[in-house]
Structure 1
Amino acid sequence: MPESAPAVQIEPAERRHAEELAFLAAHDTGPRPPGWRLTPRAVVTFVAGSGGERLRLPEPVDGLPASLEIPAKFVGERGLVERCVVTLAGERGLLLVGEPGTAKSLLSELLAAAVCGTGALTVQGTAGTTEEHLRYGWNYALLLAQGPSAAALAPSPVLTALRAGRIARVEEVTRCLPEVQDSLVSLLSDRRMSVPELAGTAADAGADLTDGTFLARPGFNVIATANLRDRGVSEMSAALKRRFNFEVVPPIGDLDAEVDLVRRQAGTALARHGHALPVDDAVLEALVTAFRDLRTGSSVEGWPVERPTTVMSTAEAVGVTTSLGLQAAYLDVPDPLSLLPGYLLGTVHKDDPDDQGRLLAYWDSAIRHRAEEGARLWKRLYELRHVVGA
Structure 2
Amino acid sequence: MSDEKTGAPVLRAHAEEAFAGELAALAARDDRPRPPGWRLSPWAVADYLLGARLPDGTVVTPKYVGPRRIVEVAVSTLATDRALLLLGVPGTAKTWVSEHLAAAISGDSTLLVQGTAGTAEEAVRYGWNYAQLLANGPSRAALVPSPVLRAMADGKIARVEELTRMPSDVQDSLITVLSEKTLPIPELSGETQAVRGFNLIATANDRDRGVHEISSALRRRFNTVVLPLPATLDDEVEIVSRRVGQLGRALELPELPGGAQEIRRVVTVFRELRDGLTIDGRTKVRTPTGTLSTAEAISVVTSGLALAAHFGDGVLRPADVATGVLGAVVRDRTTDQAVWREYLEGVLRDRDDWQDFYRAARELSD
TM range, normalised to the smaller chain?
over 0.9
Please point out which of 169, 174, 177 is paired with 2:159: 169
Aligned residue for 2:273, secondary structure, equals: helix
Question: How big is the shift at 1:344?
Answer: 1.4
Q: Is the 8 A contact 2:84 2:201 kept in 1?
A: yes
For 2:119 and 2:177, the matched residues in 1 are separated by: 17
2: CA distance, partners of 1:387 / 1:359: 13
Match of 1:78 among 50, 68, 92: 68
Work out whether 1:226 is the aligned partner of 2:204: yes
Q: Deviations over 1:24-82 (max 9, x none)?
A: 112112211111111110110110112xxx323xxxxxxxxx44121211111111000
- In structure 2, C-alpha distance between the alignment counterparts of 1:387 and 1:247, rounded to whole Å: 43
Q: Provide the C-alpha distance between the structure 1 equivalents of 2:34 and 2:16, rounded to a whole number of angstroms.
A: 19
Amino acid at match of 2:15: A
Contact 1:360 1:388 in 2 (8 A): no
CA RMSD of aligned residues (A): 1.6
Q: What amino acid is the match of 1:389?
A: S
Matched, 1:273 2:273: no
Q: Secondary structure of 1:282's match?
A: helix
The whole-number CA distance in structure 2 between the counterparts of 1:23 and 1:47 is: 14
- Secondary structure of 1:251's counterpart equals coil
Conserved? CA contact 1:278–1:325, under 8 Å:
no
Structure 1 or 2, whichever has the larger Rg, is 1
Distance 1:120 1:342 in 2: 34
Identity %: 47
Letter in 2 for 1:382: Y
Q: Does 1:256 align with 2:234?
A: yes
Tell me, yes or no, if structure 1 residue 134 matches structure 2 residue 104: no
Give the unaligned 5+ runs of structure 1. Answer: 1-5, 57-65, 200-211
How many angstroms apart in 2 are the aligned matches of 1:197 and 1:225?
A: 31
In 1, Cα distance between the equivalents of 2:165 and 2:338?
30
Q: 1:156 to 1:274 in 2, by over 3 A?
A: same
Instruction: Summarize the alignment of residues 17-32 of structure 1 with structure 2, pairs less than 5 Å apart.
Output: 17-32=19-34
Q: Where does the alignment leave 5 or more consecutive residues of structure 2 unmatched?
A: 1-7
- Alignment partners' CA distance in 2, 1:131 and 1:360: 47
AA paired with 1:174?
T
Give yes or no for the alignment of 1:325 onto 2:305: yes
Aligned to 2:330: 349
Q: Would the aligned equivalents of 1:325 and 1:336 in 2 still touch at CA under 8 Å?
A: no
The equivalent residue for 1:122 is 112
The SS at the match of 2:54 is strand
Shift of 1:275: 1.4
Provide the secondary structure at the position in 1 that maps to 2:66. coil
User: Residue 35 of structure 1 is aligned with which of 30, 34, 37?
Assistant: 37
Give the distance between the partners of 1:89 and 1:297, measured in 2 at CA.
40
1:75–1:285 Cα change, 3 Å:
same
Q: Which is further off, 29-38 or 185-194?
A: 29-38
Q: Contact 1:76–1:252 at 8 Å: present in 2 too?
A: yes
8 Å CA contact 1:172–1:225 kept in 2: the answer is yes
1:238-287 alpha-carbon deviations (Å, 9 max, x no partner): 10011101111111112122212222222222222241134332222111
**135-144 or 354-363, larger mean C-alpha shift:** 354-363
**Residue 336 (str. 1) matches residue 317 (str. 2):** yes
Q: How many residues are aligned here?
A: 356
- Corresponding residue number in structure 2 for 1:55: 54
Instruction: Give the match for residue 287 of structure 1.
Output: 266
Contact 1:342 1:387 in 2 (8 A): no
Q: Is the 8 A contact 1:341 1:387 kept in 2?
A: no
Once residues 289 and 364 of structure 2 are traced to their aligned partners in structure 1, the CA distance between those partners, rounded to angstroms, is 16
Describe the shift of the 1:165–1:297 C-alpha distance in structure 2 as closer, same or farther (beyond 3 A): same
Measured after TM superposition, the shift of residue 353 of structure 1 is 4.5
Please state whether the residue corresponding to 1:263 is helix, strand or coil: helix
Is 1:158 the counterpart of 2:157 in the alignment? no
How far did 1:230 drift?
1.2
Q: Which residue of 2 aligns with 1:361?
A: 342
Equivalent of 2:133 in 143, 148, 164: 143
| Correspondence list, 1:80-99, <5 A | 80-99=70-89
Asked if the contact 1:93–1:222 (Cα under 8 Å) also holds between the matched residues in 2, the reply is yes
Shift in alpha-carbon separation, 1:82–1:153, aligned structure 2, 3 A: same
Taking structure 2 as the reference length, what is the TM-score of the superposition?
A: 0.93
Contact map agreement 2:257 2:316 (CA 8 A) in 1: no
C-alpha separation between the residues in 2 aligned to 1:176 and 1:152?
26
For residues 43 and 178 of structure 1, what CA distance do their matches in structure 2 show?
32
Q: Which residue of 1 aligns with 2:219?
A: 241
Q: Do the aligned residues in 2 keep the contact of 1:270 with 1:277 (CA within 8 Å)?
A: no
Give the secondary structure class of the aligned counterpart of 1:184: helix
What SS is found at the alignment partner of 1:307? coil
Shift, 1:121, TM fit: 0.3
